[in-house]
Amino acid sequence: VVVQLTGIAPVAETERSVTRRICKAIKAQIGAGRFGLGARLPSTRSLAAEWGVSRTTVTAAYEQLIAEGYLETRRGARARVAQSLVRDISTKQRPAPERIAHRLSRYGQRLDAFSLPPTPSGSVNVDFRYGDMSAADFPTLVWKKAVSAALLRRPKRLRYGDPNGSPELRAALQGYLWRARGLRCDAEQIVVVNGSQQGLDLCARLLLDPGDRVFIENPSYNLAQQTFIAAGAELIPLDVDREGMRTDGLRDARLAYVTPSHQFPLGSVLSAGRRQDLLAWAQRSGAYVIEDDYDSEYRFDIGPIPALQTLDRAERVIYLGTVSKTLSPTLRLGYLVVPAALRFAFGKAKRLADRHTPGLEQEALADLLASGAYERHVRRARRRNGSRRAALLSALSDILGDQVTVVGADAGLHVLVWLNQVPRAQEDELIARARAAGLGLHAISPLYAHPVSDGRPDLAGLVMGYASLSEQDIEQGVRGLKLILDHFGPSPCADG
């Protein structure tokens, strides 16, 4: 049977080459059943005449279809529809979307409980969102120079890098961690990761099985909680007071996640006694402690608190650092310091996760660390954020007075503000009203893994980040908060 290629449907303009159009037409004919299995195709001569193209073009189309398995040919014979083409899929009914079953792994199912953050809307004038940084603070020229230098000194060949991180960056980080944090380690213990989130995720994958227990501070960083929940772990929240996480509740578990230098979000420092308790517990029970040192560069009135890792004698602490608070959250650069015995496991997990952290970023950061530019930048960023902090603290005090109680202001890039006249039950309403007025406020409640905590007053609380705001914005934001708060006065009688 020779089938005529007449009545071909109009071809979309986006089809770029005639060859491609011929291929598409033949596939459509096969799909519509005009060519049966084994049917001979037109000769290249007749098809060329029909399309008004050269035979070479038609031959190219046939070769393409042979390569794709639609046609087959025997020496000297005309091309035929491949016998292996059992059924027509191009005309098959597409199942109705609701009938399509999508089944996820248990890991995927556990993610269902989480929501993605809403796309930031442009209507917010002042946003105290924690984690945002001012683009003006980023050392643009220094970074641009470092990236350009890295691009120009490229080796002859580009190949996958060391999964644990580039040797240059790890050596530079080793020196930095010793200078800035008193932390002694071998460069081999350092694993370069895509921001602290990847560090947490690698820890969860390597250390936790479903059902394992993990101690966390209550309240604590919500993505850390999600990471452990996604791993199938059982979270056990421990209350936080002025000495940091209460360690008297520690019992058998696989992991504890702590922010000992500056508890997130409450701001307390884990006391020396509790550090001892925590490390002794970890050693006794064979558990690990993740020390998230997320903002230790910013400590304003006292010196830096030594890392918990420096007290660890039993290879129990995994130290987690980031440049998200010093350079930019969008760079996605962080590092782990892991017990030497675990470095290969982390390297293998990192390799399967994404081979390695992007090369140019690693080189640029290594450059900044080696030249001292990073520490100069950190000192400048600390001064700038010190001014923002001062502006926020004095605005809170001057404008809001005893309407608020401010805690955790010694360090970091946020303060915690309890609203003395707003009960916790009205937190959501307050946030919504503020947003309607163009003011971005962020509640503490979502950070509590367990709603009941001894230390928590029955008040609405705000995590107020200030690193992305100017002093003017900060004052304007606090004035906006004042307006909102005046709707939440102690009693309606106070009105008028």
Q: Is 97 in the site for a second copy (CB under 8 A)?
A: yes
Q: Is 345 in the site for a second copy (CB under 8 A)?
A: yes
Query: For a second copy, which stretch binds (CB under 8 A), given 289-297, 328-336, 375-383, 401-409?
Result: 328-336
Q: Which two tokens stand for residue 200?
A: 């947490």
Question: Could you give the CA distance from residue 452 to residue 431 in angstroms, rounded to a whole number?
Answer: 21
Positive or negative torsion for Cα 418, 132, 179, 288? positive
Which of 8, 18, 20, 28 binds a second copy (CB under 8 A)? It is: 20
* Residues 323 and 333: beta-carbon distance below 8 Å: yes
- Give, as one character, the DSSP assignment of residue 41: P
- Give, as one character, the DSSP assignment of residue 325: T
Question: Which residues lie closer than 8 Å to 362 by C-beta, 6 or more apart?
Answer: 161, 165, 166, 168, 169, 192, 333
Q: Is 237 in the site for a second copy (CB under 8 A)?
A: no
Q: Is 336 in the site for a second copy (CB under 8 A)?
A: no
Q: Is 450 in the site for a second copy (CB under 8 A)?
A: no
Nearer Cβ to a second copy, position 6 or 119? 119
Q: Is 256 in the site for a second copy (CB under 8 A)?
A: no
Which of 181, 204, 188 has the alpha carbon at shortest distance from 340? Answer: 188
Question: Could you give the CA distance from residue 74 to residue 40 in angstroms, rounded to a whole number?
Answer: 11
Closest approach of Cβ 121 to a second copy, in Å? 13
Nearer Cβ to a second copy, position 70 or 422? 70
Q: Is 226 in the site for a second copy (CB under 8 A)?
A: yes
Binding to a second copy (CB under 8 A): which residues in 106-165?
106-108, 111-112, 114, 116-117, 119-120, 127, 129, 131-136, 138, 140, 143-144, 147-148, 151-152, 154-163
Q: Is 360 in the site for a second copy (CB under 8 A)?
A: yes
- Give, as one character, the DSSP assignment of residue 118: P
Nearer Cβ to a second copy, position 415 or 422? 415
Give kind and range of the element (H or E) at residue 218: strand 213-218
Binding to a second copy (CB under 8 A): which residues in 372-411?
410
Which of 8, 187, 349, 390 binds a second copy (CB under 8 A)? It is: 349
Closest approach of Cβ 214 to a second copy, in Å? 12
Binding to a second copy (CB under 8 A): which residues in 452-471?
468
Question: Could you give the CA distance from residue 330 to residue 306 in angstroms, rounded to a whole number?
Answer: 27
Which of 181, 332, 424, 442 binds a second copy (CB under 8 A)? It is: 332
Which of 13, 74, 76, 87 binds a second copy (CB under 8 A)? It is: 87
Which of 63, 188, 239, 375 binds a second copy (CB under 8 A)? It is: 63
Positive or negative torsion for Cα 225, 228, 230, 235? negative
Q: Which two tokens stand for residue 191?
A: 């694993």
Nearer Cβ to a second copy, position 39 or 399? 39
Burial class (CB in 10 A: 0-12, 13-18, 19+), 264: buried
* Residues 481 and 401: beta-carbon distance below 8 Å: no
Query: For a second copy, which stretch binds (CB under 8 A), given 313-321, 388-396, 399-407, 456-464?
Result: 313-321
Q: Is 19 in the site for a second copy (CB under 8 A)?
A: yes
Q: Dihedral, CA atoms, 73, 79, 83, 87, nearest 10 degrees?
A: 140
Max distance between CA atoms of the chain, in angstroms, equals 100
Which of 219, 267, 347, 480 binds a second copy (CB under 8 A)? It is: 347
Question: Could you give the CA distance from residue 388 to residue 122 in angstroms, rounded to a whole number?
Answer: 23
Q: Is 95 in the site for a second copy (CB under 8 A)?
A: yes
Binding to a second copy (CB under 8 A): which residues in 279-298?
279-280, 283, 286
Which of 10, 33, 103, 454 binds a second copy (CB under 8 A)? It is: 103
Question: Could you give the CA distance from residue 343 to residue 188 in angstroms, rounded to a whole number?
Answer: 7
Q: Which two tokens stand for residue 115?
A: 């929501």
Q: Is 250 in the site for a second copy (CB under 8 A)?
A: no
Could you give the count of Cα atoms lying within 13 Å of 354 in the half-sphere of its Cβ? 12
Binding to a second copy (CB under 8 A): which residues in 31-60?
60
Q: Is 476 in the site for a second copy (CB under 8 A)?
A: no
Question: Could you give the CA distance from residue 496 to residue 486 in angstroms, rounded to a whole number?
Answer: 12
Query: For a second copy, which stretch binds (CB under 8 A), given 2-10, 278-286, 454-462, 488-496?
Result: 278-286
Binding to a second copy (CB under 8 A): which residues in 169-208?
178-179, 193-195, 197-198, 201, 205-208
